[in-house]
Chains A and B, each alone.
Chain A
Amino acid sequence: MTYALREAVAAFRRAPVLTGLASSMVGLALFVVGLFALAAYNLGEALHLVEERVEIVVYLRDDARNQEIELAHGELSSLPEVQEVHYVSKEAALENARRDLPELGEVFADLTVNPLPASLEVRLRPGYRTQEAVDQVSALAAAYAFVEDVAFGRDWVEKLFALRRVAAVTVAVLGTAFALVATLIIGTALKIAVFARREEIYIMRLVGAKDGFIRRPFLLEGAMAGFLGGVLAVLLTYLTFRVVYAFLFTLEWIPTPWVVVGTLAGVAFGVLASGFSVRRHLREV
């Protein structure tokens, strides 16, 4: 193993341009994946924030009794889909309207009777903010006799869920495509690096080195190129993140596990690509 490690390091010293180029190509390929991950993560976060605003408002009839309201409050709160139920009295509704709609201040000031109904605002748990859950909880709430109406901004919710489906498919398709392109680029870069040393493989075979012994330094070299490429990709992605954050708009940095997985993916690609290339050359002698 000492020999393999020494030779892998020596390969960087003997052919710095070639190994540097291979690492850079791995880095650039993973950088594209990193940018995609940054965009996908922030898109997911944005959708998540919007989803948090999905709320079902159950408007109550003016003649609804407190006992009935409390019963409904308890029943709705106990549903697995429901995170919390908040009661908004007629007075609170008017107060909210005055605060949220200042342009209608005069209208509200002239009122002798409060026309706004009391309501139960139902928020869903994360993971249940789906079209099905919204429909199900709305139907349950609408079944109460003292309920005037149930609103959840049907059009808006439908659009949101459609957008989420499109985003999920886009992320999956583009993610796969980017990963494939990165795999091809990394594979080609390391194939070139191994090809440049095919004579070395030939001579090793000729003098009686075992295949495993021949393979080891190349696998290590692939792992090192993959790791360096991974680190380069993380640095470039982080640089882009800082620039976008400073000059364009606010966004969030991708979670650390994603960074670790990305870098490890570089190492794994490096090892696999080198392994396949060496295997091909081993068959030549």
Chain B
Amino acid sequence: MIHLDNVTKEYARGGAALQDVSVHVRKGEFCFLTGHSGSGKSTTLKLIHMAERPTRGEVRVSGYSSERTPEREVWKVRRRVGCIFQDFRLLPGRTALENVAFALEVTGTPASVVRARAQRLLAQVGLAPKAGAMVHRLSGGEQQRVAIARALANDPVVLLADEPTGNLDERATRGIMELFWEINASGMAVVMATHDLELVRLYGQARVLELDQGRLVYDSARSQAPAISKATT
């Protein structure tokens, strides 16, 4: 479903962010993408939702290739991929419901179903009672749930989460992780970038990909000896 084939990403300033990375994420898989700051986690996610294009190699997402998808058609990829960020990226001055409805409206969902569907999505993430609250009045965990509901709006095949718990306390983090597992259990793949190794250990059944200085140094699907535990013990 997601293929990174010998992907290298170089920037004019700052050199190589990724070097010759090859990964295949299957449908319904839960993957942690770990590594230190600057290891290439965010770049990998940007390549998957085609905010960036590889310098060499190819990225394929649900049948769309980075080599054959022109910029004007990237929207097709984006509707197959839901994105969540550490800073939530919600629209201030709007309610939780409006933030979710926004994702439906801008992708051309008929106006007659937008409201009901947005409410259903908020209910799915446990925020139905807060649908009418302005997002800036919600807690961090609640704002992240709104962001998740928005990411799910267009029925993506994969959820990309870039440090989604980075701004949350332990309790909110646990809640968000449980939500991710529920979403994953429904058959949606989840790729979550995090540098929180405790979290990775806590959910040991997930696949772990570790990046270091732009290189894929560990893939739990291929190796028996997790580099993470070596690095932290």
A contact set with B: CB distance below 8 Å: 2-3, 14-15, 199-200, 202-211, 213-214, 285
Known contacts A207-B153, A210-B75, A285-B51: A200-B91 contact under CB 8 Å: yes
Q: A199-B89, A199-B91 are in contact. Are A208 and B72 (CB under 8 A)?
A: no
Pull 9 A–B residue pairs with CB atoms less than 8 Å apart, ordered by A.
Answer: A3-B111, A199-B91, A204-B102, A207-B154, A208-B75, A209-B75, A209-B106, A209-B107, A210-B75
Report whether B102 and A203 are in contact in the complex, using a CB–CB cutoff of 8 Å. Answer: yes
| Given A203-B91, A208-B154, A213-B106, 8 more pairs with CB closer than 8 A | A15-B93, A199-B91, A202-B89, A203-B103, A206-B83, A207-B154, A209-B107, A213-B108
Residues of A within 8 A of B108 (CB): 213
CB-based contact B76/A208 at 8 Å: yes
A154 to B124, CA, bound (A): 91
Instruction: Judge whether B130 is part of the interface by a CB distance below 8 angstroms.
Output: no
Interface size on B, residues (CB 8 A): 24
Query: Across the interface, do B49 and A206 meet the contact criterion of CB distance under 8 Å?
Result: yes
CA distance A206 to B99 in the complex (A): 13
Contacts of A205 in B (CB 8 A): 74-75, 78
Q: Which of B58-96 contact A (CB under 8 A)?
A: 72, 74-79, 83, 89, 91, 93
The reply to whether the CB of B105 lies closer than 8 angstroms to some CB of chain A is yes
Point out the residues of chain A lying under 8 angstroms from B153, CB to CB. Answer: 207
B150 at the interface (CB under 8 A from A): yes
A72 to chain B, nearest CB (A): 75
Known: A199-B89, A202-B89. A207 touches B51 (CB 8 A): no
Residues of chain B at the chain A interface (Cβ within 8 Å)? 49, 51, 72, 74-79, 83, 89, 91, 93, 102-103, 105-108, 111, 150-151, 153-154
For A207, give its contact among B72, B93, B111, B150 (CB under 8 Å): B150
| CB within 8 Å: A-B pair count | 51
Interface hub of A199, A208, A285 (most chain B Cβ within 10 A): A208
Give the CA-CA distance A214 to B107 in the complex, in Å. 10
A15 to B93, CA, bound (A): 9
Q: Which residues of A contact B49 (CB under 8 A)?
A: 206
- Chain B residues in 8 Å Cβ range of A199: 89, 91
Give, as a whole number of angstroms, the nearest-CB distance from B117 to chain A: 14
With A14-B93, A199-B89, A199-B91 as contacts: A206 and B78 at CB distance below 8 Å: yes
CB B133 to nearest CB in A, in angstroms, measures 17
**Which residues of B lie under 8 Å from residue A15 when comparing CB positions?**
93
| Residues of the B chain whose Cβ atoms lie less than 8 Å from the Cβ of A2 | 111
Contact of A208 with B107 in the complex, beta carbons under 8 Å: yes
Most buried by B among A200, A206, A209: A206
What's the least CB distance linking B52 to chain A, in Å?
10
How far apart sit A3 and B103, CA to CA, in the bound complex (Å)?
12
> In whole angstroms, how far apart are the Cα atoms of A14 and B91 in the complex?
11
Q: How far is the CB of B90 from chain A (nearest CB, A)?
A: 8
- B78 x A207 contact (CB < 8 A): yes
Shortest C-beta distance, B134 to chain A (Å), equals 12
Contact A3 B91 (CB under 8 A): no
